[in-house]
Structure 1
Amino acid sequence: MCLVMATEEERAAAEIMRSLARHLNCLNEGEKSTRKQALEDIKKETIEKGLSSTVLQEVFACLLKPLLRCLSDPMERCREVAIQIIGDFIRCVSKPESSMPYIMPSLAQRLGGKEIVEPAEELRLSMVEVLSLIVEVCGRHLAPYLDDMIKILQKTIIDPFPDVIKESCKCTIQFARSIPDHFHMQAECLVKPLMQTISHQHSRVRMAIIEASGAVIQYGTVKTMDDVLSHMAQRLFDNSPQVRKAVTLVVGDWLLNLRDRYSYFHKLIPLLLSSLSDDLPEIKALACELWRQVGTQWEKENEDDLKDKMDFFLSSTLQYPPGVDRPGLGCRELVVRNLSKLMPALSRDASDWLVQTRVKTMQLLQVLLLHAEDHCTQHLQQLLTTLYHACTDSEQDVRTNGLESARLLGVFVSPEVYIKLLLAHVKNSSSCSSSSPWAPLMVLAAMMKGSNRKVLGPQLLQVGQILAHSDVCQESQQTVYVEQLLACVEVLLEVCEEDCGVISLPLLKVLVTMQCVSTEPQIHTKAEECILHLCQVLSLSSVHELYRQHMAQLLQWLLESQNSWSTYSIQKTQLEIIALQSGPVVGEFLPELMPLLQNCLLPSQDPEIRLHVFTMLSKLLLNSSNTLDSHGKFCKYLEVFLKELLLPNLVWRAGRAAAAVRNSALSCLLATLQGGTLSKEQVLNMETEFSAYLISALEEDSELSRLLACRSVSSFITVAERCLNPDTLNKIYPELLKRIDDSSPEVRAEALKALSVWLSSLDKNYDTHTYHPNLEFLFQQLLLYLDDPDHQIQLMVLEVLKASSVADPVLLQQKVEEVREKLRSFEYCDQLLQYIQSH
């Protein structure tokens, strides 16, 4: 029966071939249209007639060679129809593999040569589609044609036509799966063209290349893995989410199914874990699921090794970030066992010149730390170096992810371990190779933020001592350095709260110093906020209470270093901040303060230091009842203060620095007189000394000195309450008269104000008869200024003269009448006379 059927099919095939004889002859005609028509007729007489696969097999065997010759036809349409017919036959015949000895060399000749033989890109696409069809229907029968297939794919994968590349990648995947036992021998040859095209401008092409690369490595040899991985890693930065998704799928498949995957875990794990921080939630979820599968599979494969850990698995009490679940045991173990191999690459990529690489590296580091947990400890030194670079990066995203990594490191590593190492870096930051001395401080703050209060508490003393050390808190005036030091204090207060009581003194020293080394207003504001926060955690009612606890220690701290103070020392500013911020508390610690002031204000001391301290004292003395004299004890030290500290600095010495010191001393004296510190009795006891120094100051070259001297004279006379010795008064007024001729309008005005106070102080002790010549001279001199070119001075002199009429109105009227005719204008004289007569 079978023989009969075979005979019938052979007769049918022979009949068809007889009907096609004329068409086959036409294929050799020179006319293009004739050849084209012949091919179309062949198609109608065979494929389109619905013949059985056996008949078509016989016909195809006879038509194959003429059709393959048509692939070289000069006419594009003829080549196109020939390719279609060949594809249709392969799809329909019962044994397509029997035609491979003829088809494969022909396709290799058209597609696999050094140069492109087929010029039409659409026809190249059709040929590659036929090739894919051949792989699909022939499968394992293509093993003998491995060389031809590889030769073709090497060229079509780098074809200029994107659709050809995509179809070639599809064909590559099918071919690798069809003959896995043979494919690996030539797979390496496809890696170079694949990597050459992986950065193609079309995203769909890049996707296809990635998928094909996955198959080539999966079914080929892993020797080329290193060549592929670097390109795969770059595609994780691709703008197309679909490309990134393709990388995730391929890498996940490798981790699950690659034969030699254990040898490449350390290279594949970073690629998959990087996708966990992808911007697209879909890719994150995909990577998470693939990673879970990888961990679970590895866990099963290594069940014996993990038995103890699985049996004694305890739920984590670590402070995981909100919304983050603890990874499975297999996933954690995979990271732990490969972390030492990952660290060198992480450190290198953290300093990469591409921003996106540095960002991705820091994101990956976070994921690795979440998996490694306390195993991070053995890599701490290398991790810290990496974080120093990241936290001082110029890009905000790198810094943000770096700080988050540092916080996670603080969660998992014991403070007892990292504090010791980090504080050594903090203290020696100036000698570190890093150009950013604040990096260790930044990392320290982030790590302490991640630490648990209970385990951080025992390390507080050590942290406080280092932060308050002069080599740390006085290391740099750079704003960023000071900000990081303040950040450490903020974190300590936030994490440890009232436990910070044991280091309240070091913290206060740091906060005081920060206000000294920086001129930035925001730094001062933040430091003051930290001081308030410190008071809150210690349950203190005010900042003054905090200073009351530590004032003696703070002053002793300054006294210990006083012998080394210089122009550029910040201790003088520390003293000012402590004295001013402590408010009334400073008045409780005068025994400790006075030695400091005595050393600072010695005439032999650096002028800059004396200038600074006098400025500070001026501020305190202006409000002495709430500062130095808050407890009424400053009077005990006042005589020493005046005779040993203040007045010696008013002695004239040559030089601008000395003049500046005298100005500041005068300012301090004025504050003493105006702030209510000096009583009437104290002023009268030192009447001679005060008057001598003030008279001398009225002759200073400095305009400011003369101005301050005039004001001080006014205050000096006012505090004395009309009890000054007449001789003292008579020594003062001539000097004030001189100042009315001063080159400075302000000094002239202050001199007139002082004369007005001088005149108002005259009482019964000042015998106008005895001191008649003095008053006469004073009136004469003042009347001359009623003719002053400055109208304001004229008015002020008029008011002074009106006030002076109380002393001796008769004498004043006589002197006014004498000079009236000599002045350019009678107006003010007449007003003055009218005033005298009316009183």
Structure 2
Amino acid sequence: MATTDGEQREASEVFQAVARHLNCLNDDSKFTRRKALVAIQQEAQNKRLSSGPLQEVFAELLRPLLRCLTDPMEKCRELAIQIISHCVGNVPRPEEALPYLIPAVTQRLGNPEIVEPSEELRLALAELLTLLVEVCGKKLVPYLDDMVRILQRTISDPFPEVKKESCKCASYYAQSIPEHFHMQSESLIKPLMQAISHQHSKVRLAVIQTTGAVIQHGNGKSMDDVLSHLAQRLFDDAPQVRQAVTIVIGDWLLNLRDRYSYFHKLIPLLLSSSTDEIPEIRKLAQSYWEKIGLQWEKENEEDLKDKLDFSVLPPSPYPTGVSRPGLGCRELIFRNLSKILPAISHDITDWVIATRIKASQLLAVLLLHAEDHTTQHMELILSTLYRSCLDEEQSVVHSSVQSAEMIGNFVNPEVFLKLNLTTLQKSPLASHLMVLAAFIRGSTRDRLKPHLSQIASVLSRPEICQGSEKVLYAEQLLCCIQSLIHICHGDCEDISLHCMKILITILARPASEQLGEKVQEVLMSLASVQGLPDLLDLYRRHIQQLLEWASSNHQQWTSYSIERVMFEVVITESGPVIGENLHLLIPTLRTCLQPTQEPQMRLKLFTMFSKLLAKAKETVNSQQQFHGYSETVVKDILVPNLKWHAGRTAGAIRTIAVSCLWVLLQSEVLSEQEVFQVQEVVLPQVIATLEEDSKTSRLVSCRIIQSFLKVCEQRLDPDTLNKIYPELLKRLDDASDEVRVAAAKTLSVWFKCINNDYDRTTYKSHLEFLYHGLLVHLDDPDNGIQATVLELLKEASFVYPSLLVQEIEAVRHKHRTPAYCDQLLQHIQEFKSHDNQSGAS
């Protein structure tokens, strides 16, 4: 546009005013140069000066001002940049300055080494460059190489503000000349990616936004160079950075020219944002995803015609708490899933926790979209879940379980079970069971019913239900049964026995201490879905099969046999029900408790058996049938284990065996006649145990002999009685006072067993020996023992009073305290007097 005479005159006046100042720009004095630049700035920024005359003035000022960009004085360079920036922003034709301005800026900013030392001035030059892009636009096409060279350096500038301004400039430039920018866009990718992890979040934000523009208007070949960096920014601590990534990825998926080629790479990044911890970012990602799906629907309307015309209902069951994605979104996943899954499978085991979490969350989102199309990718998905379900990070495990439940929603059980159960049988792992349990929870009763028997049969196999001793494995095995009962309800009646076997196996494992309550709850549920009022009815229904199953190999049991523990669990948990099945229990115990069997195993079985006998009325004798097996128990089980064998374990077995015998006698299961019938076999062995090292054995043996003597009172022959008392007399010298007292009380009962068959004259020596031994303990250091023995001798005096008097008089003078002897003599005298009076009357 031609200038008017007035504008030319105005421009001439301004130029004349600054002409003298231009000459000063070459002065050696920096103060002179600065003063001149200040004066020029005032004239150039004169508000009365219109744009036309300023254009003319700027043309004259430009080259002198550009020379000032290399002035040694920082203030002079600053003023020159300010004047140039003002003119560029206000003249009508700023592009006329480009042939001079661009080379000058390139010289200051575009070299490999920093030429402009001042950070503030590099920022001012970068702002000037941004201004040039804004006002010149497409006129900058011829300077593409110089512009990119400058931006390469300034984006890598150490000053964060320069980085941000350069990113802004690069974005504007890419948008201004998209037809030409693509030729050099790749040159900016490297510096951008170097700056994308800068410590300042605002720099990272600017770099991400610029990357979006550079790729959008540049060369798509650079996509692979930036995606991994953008993916890392999804883990950024700054929400605004993650939001920027979401916006960039969303815009690419909507607007990138060749976006179809990159769907499989971009979609996972956008969907990862849909699980972000910040609600705003999640909503943003979901909004973009809905738009992308709708756009894709419109672009592929012909291909989707049938699906659009005949809207398919959601699969049933459908995951709760989520909305079904649109058709376009689902189709995008269907068509790209095979390309996305391998990367997720790799990332889900990455060493970085955050990566594993994102990958597991993304997998759940993808499966929600894939629906029944998941079937064709089952092998890869399952192998991925088997690994991720064992992750130490609980959020990874949670998302993986969620994915497995979705598989249950969408995949036919026949397909899933064929893969899962085959893998489980090859190498049982907790993750295999975890995925199975989740699948069952996601499926339905009707779909699972035809497969219940198969599932339960496989799980109940020894190699599966005994596959590991780890707590996690047992927990997941329990979860499988719990899930089956929860989903299939009454249908579980057909697999009730299998479920019982599995649950009993769990109780038999070392992990049962932590799982006991949970197993009991599942057992109650199993009983409830079958309409049974309590657990006892459940055990009653299966007790015979369970006992036969647990004891099938009892001849080979050792202390390490899991079958033995399962057998014990069935017996102890079934309570009174075991009393109905003694025909299965006793023969097994008789075989396993023979002295030829492993000692440790016998010890454990005896411990269990003693607990049963202690509550006989509530267990083995609940049906009043135990007496029919009492002789077998005593003669074939207990007596053989009372025989002496060397070793500490053998001693422990004798102790537990004699304890079982004592509990049996105390339980009142045996009648007096049954006790009498076994005394000939039992008493010799029990008498022998009076010499055991174990205090418990000696004490219990005394009590057992006492019990036998009470039952067999007046029916024992003299020879049997004479075999008993010497061993009891020895126990009065026992190290344990408790044993001594028990022995004394047993001897008291022994004297009551003497009947008319016990001839005093014939067996005088026995009585003499016995009286003499007891009188020794009448002078015992322990007052309690003295009192006990005194009472014993008072009761024993009626057997042979005159003989006892002789023995007392023979030892009285030796006693430290003859008072007890005197009391005993007085008692005998009173007894004789009373006896004489009774005879006279």
The answer for the alignment partner of 2:520 in structure 1 is 528
Deviations 1:517-567 (A, max 9, x none): 216522233323322232222222222211111111112213422343233
Q: Name structure 2 gaps, 5 residues minimum.
A: 832-841
Moved more, 595-604 or 565-574: 595-604
The answer for the alignment partner of 2:839 in structure 1 is none
The answer for the alignment partner of 2:608 in structure 1 is 616
Contact 1:586 1:627 in 2 (8 A): yes
Partners of 2:487 and 2:51 lie apart in 1 by: 81
Deviations 1:813-838 (A, max 9, x none): 55444433211223443454566667
Contact 2:175 2:217 in 1 (8 A): yes
Contact 1:486 1:527 in 2 (8 A): yes
Paired residue secondary structure (1:337): helix
Moved more, 383-392 or 69-78: 383-392
Which of 190, 202, 205 pairs up with 2:203? 205
Over 3 Å counting, the alpha-carbon distance change for 1:15 and 1:505 in structure 2 is same
Which of 585, 589, 592 pairs up with 2:581? 589
Structure 2 residue 38 is the aligned partner of structure 1 residue 16: no
Over 3 Å counting, the alpha-carbon distance change for 1:278 and 1:687 in structure 2 is same
Moved more, 195-204 or 635-644: 635-644
1:442 maps to a residue whose letter is M
Contact 2:94 2:136 in 1 (8 A): yes
Matches within 5 A, 1:339-358: 339-358=337-356
Partners of 1:692 and 1:612 lie apart in 2 by: 25
Which of 581, 593, 608 pairs up with 1:601? 593
Over 3 Å counting, the alpha-carbon distance change for 1:51 and 1:563 in structure 2 is same
Matches within 5 A, 1:601-750: 601-720=593-712, 723-750=715-742
Contact 2:676 2:711 in 1 (8 A): no
Partners of 2:826 and 2:530 lie apart in 1 by: 71
Structure 2 residue 517 is the aligned partner of structure 1 residue 513: no
Deviations 1:329-353 (A, max 9, x none): 1111111211111111111111111
The answer for the alignment partner of 2:571 in structure 1 is 579
Matches within 5 A, 1:226-241: 226-241=224-239
Moved more, 680-689 or 288-297: 680-689
Structure 2 residue 114 is the aligned partner of structure 1 residue 112: no
The answer for the alignment partner of 2:58 in structure 1 is 60
Deviations 1:350-408 (A, max 9, x none): 11111111111111111111111222222222222222222211222222222222222
Matches within 5 A, 1:287-366: 287-366=285-364
Over 3 Å counting, the alpha-carbon distance change for 1:755 and 1:520 in structure 2 is farther
Deviations 1:191-248 (A, max 9, x none): 0000101111111111000000111111111211111111111111111111111111
| Aligned residues with identical type, % of pairs | 54
1:329 maps to a residue whose letter is L
Cα deviation, residue 144, structure 1: 0.5
Contact 2:662 2:700 in 1 (8 A): yes
Contact 1:615 1:667 in 2 (8 A): no
2:223 maps to a residue whose letter is M
Structure 2 residue 130 is the aligned partner of structure 1 residue 132: yes
Over 3 Å counting, the alpha-carbon distance change for 1:396 and 1:835 in structure 2 is farther
Q: Name structure 1 gaps, 5 residues minimum.
A: 431-436
Paired residue secondary structure (2:691): coil
Over 3 Å counting, the alpha-carbon distance change for 1:768 and 1:297 in structure 2 is farther
Cα deviation, residue 802, structure 1: 4.3
Contact 2:634 2:678 in 1 (8 A): no
Partners of 1:383 and 1:748 lie apart in 2 by: 74
Over 3 Å counting, the alpha-carbon distance change for 1:27 and 1:368 in structure 2 is same
Over 3 Å counting, the alpha-carbon distance change for 1:164 and 1:522 in structure 2 is same
Over 3 Å counting, the alpha-carbon distance change for 1:132 and 1:546 in structure 2 is same
Partners of 2:143 and 2:824 lie apart in 1 by: 130
The answer for the alignment partner of 2:374 in structure 1 is 376
Over 3 Å counting, the alpha-carbon distance change for 1:725 and 1:326 in structure 2 is farther
Contact 2:551 2:564 in 1 (8 A): no
Moved more, 209-218 or 516-525: 516-525
1:414 maps to a residue whose letter is N
Partners of 1:610 and 1:560 lie apart in 2 by: 17
Contact 1:707 1:746 in 2 (8 A): yes
Contact 2:389 2:431 in 1 (8 A): yes
Contact 2:470 2:511 in 1 (8 A): no
Paired residue secondary structure (2:339): helix
Cα deviation, residue 681, structure 1: 0.8
Over 3 Å counting, the alpha-carbon distance change for 1:600 and 1:39 in structure 2 is same
Deviations 1:142-190 (A, max 9, x none): 1101011101110111111111111111111110000000000000000
Over 3 Å counting, the alpha-carbon distance change for 1:136 and 1:533 in structure 2 is same
1:331 maps to a residue whose letter is C
The answer for the alignment partner of 2:535 in structure 1 is 543
Deviations 1:280-310 (A, max 9, x none): 1111111111111111111111111112222
Over 3 Å counting, the alpha-carbon distance change for 1:666 and 1:212 in structure 2 is same
The answer for the alignment partner of 1:143 in structure 2 is 141
The answer for the alignment partner of 2:252 in structure 1 is 254
The answer for the alignment partner of 1:490 in structure 2 is 482
Contact 1:482 1:518 in 2 (8 A): no
Over 3 Å counting, the alpha-carbon distance change for 1:94 and 1:665 in structure 2 is same
The answer for the alignment partner of 1:461 in structure 2 is 453
Contact 2:134 2:172 in 1 (8 A): yes
Partners of 2:826 and 2:354 lie apart in 1 by: 90
Partners of 1:149 and 1:265 lie apart in 2 by: 32
Partners of 2:477 and 2:645 lie apart in 1 by: 43
Contact 2:631 2:678 in 1 (8 A): no
Cα deviation, residue 761, structure 1: 4.8
Over 3 Å counting, the alpha-carbon distance change for 1:520 and 1:594 in structure 2 is closer
Cα deviation, residue 249, structure 1: 0.6
Which of 404, 419, 423 pairs up with 2:417? 419
Paired residue secondary structure (1:48): coil
Partners of 2:377 and 2:801 lie apart in 1 by: 96
Partners of 1:643 and 1:232 lie apart in 2 by: 82
Which of 180, 183, 207 pairs up with 2:181? 183
Q: TM-score, normalised by structure 2?
A: 0.94
Over 3 Å counting, the alpha-carbon distance change for 1:251 and 1:810 in structure 2 is farther
Cα deviation, residue 113, structure 1: 0.6
Moved more, 233-242 or 513-522: 513-522
Cα deviation, residue 409, structure 1: 2.4
1:129 maps to a residue whose letter is E
The answer for the alignment partner of 2:32 in structure 1 is 34
Contact 2:559 2:604 in 1 (8 A): no
Cα deviation, residue 279, structure 1: 1.0
Over 3 Å counting, the alpha-carbon distance change for 1:500 and 1:795 in structure 2 is farther
Partners of 1:759 and 1:535 lie apart in 2 by: 57
Over 3 Å counting, the alpha-carbon distance change for 1:95 and 1:584 in structure 2 is same
Partners of 2:748 and 2:302 lie apart in 1 by: 104
The answer for the alignment partner of 2:553 in structure 1 is 561
The answer for the alignment partner of 1:433 in structure 2 is none
Deviations 1:442-477 (A, max 9, x none): 222222222222222322212222222111222222
Partners of 1:835 and 1:120 lie apart in 2 by: 124
Over 3 Å counting, the alpha-carbon distance change for 1:261 and 1:830 in structure 2 is farther
Contact 2:289 2:329 in 1 (8 A): yes
Q: TM-score, normalised by structure 1?
A: 0.94
